[in-house]
Amino acid sequence: IAGITQAPTSQILAAGRRMTLRCTQDMRHNAMYWYRQDLGLGLRLIHYSNTAGTTGKGEVPDGYSVSRANTDDFPLTLASAVPSQTSVYFCASSEGGLAGGHTGELFFGEGSRLTVL
Amino acid sequence: GENVEQHPSTLSVQEGDSAVIKCTYSDSASNYFPWYKQELGKRPQLIIDIRSNVGEKKDQRIAVTLNKTAKHFSLHITETQPEDSAVYFCAPRESGAGSYQLTFGKGTKLSVIP
């Protein structure tokens, strides 16, 4: 089934540990994003990538890093997890910018629930 | 960056009544206005969107209206049903800017009472 896949779906992690959330899409979308969702705060952008080889910082990038070695994969790494990073993380993709006839629709993965103790 | 606010934050309606959620934004360059629906425990999904060259768009029971001068757009749901219960997010953006920093509103939790 075409779409966007995240792994793991759920993880409990000790503070100080390193963790990578995986995200893969098979829609050949240029743009990819990582959001965190916390109750009452909506969806906040962590990092994004316009196209393979480029990344940018979103609203809440501290403590997170990303890479975009190819079109399909966009992993999110927590170098040293802290309890405030307990959240639900959503990866998303879109065709690209709205110019050139692209739709603006974001396609989301099913989310990764991360608990940092 | 874009400052996005949604009102109300929570909304309860009787089944069959209408619901309206308003989204205000700050960036006058925004020209794409989507609404996403997130059911409990699920991922957000686009339900309707509008571009700034159009004032209103309808899709069955849902519609979006845009007031670019006042910088707000609204989601209208008519004849609400229990399956409309969800959190709704707006995410206005500017096209063609090369910027992909989409800012979502904080969401509106809609409860439809049977």
pLDDT digits (tens, 9 = 90+) for B23-50: 999 988 888 899 999 999 999 999 999 9
So what's the pLDDT on residue B68? Answer: 92
Q: Which residue has the higher pLDDT, B87 or A39?
A: B87
CA distance B4 to B27: 9
Nearest to A98 among B46, B96, B101 (CB): B96
B92 and A CB contact within 8 Å = no
Q: Which two three-digit tokens encode residue A15? A: 């503070």
Q: Which two three-digit tokens encode residue A49? A: 């990538």
- 8 Å CB contact between A48 and A58: yes
Give the CA angle between residues A41, B59, B111 to the nearest 5°. 40
- Which of A84-93, B41-50, B91-100 is predicted with the least confidence, judged by mean pLDDT? B91-100
Q: Do B102 and A41 touch (CB under 8 A)?
A: no
Residue of B nearest to A46 (CA): B101
Interface mutation target, options A9, A95, A108, chain B, most CBs of B under 10 Å: A108
Structure confidence by residue, pLDDT tens digits, B63-82? 999 999 999 999 999 999 99
So what's the pLDDT on residue A41? Answer: 82
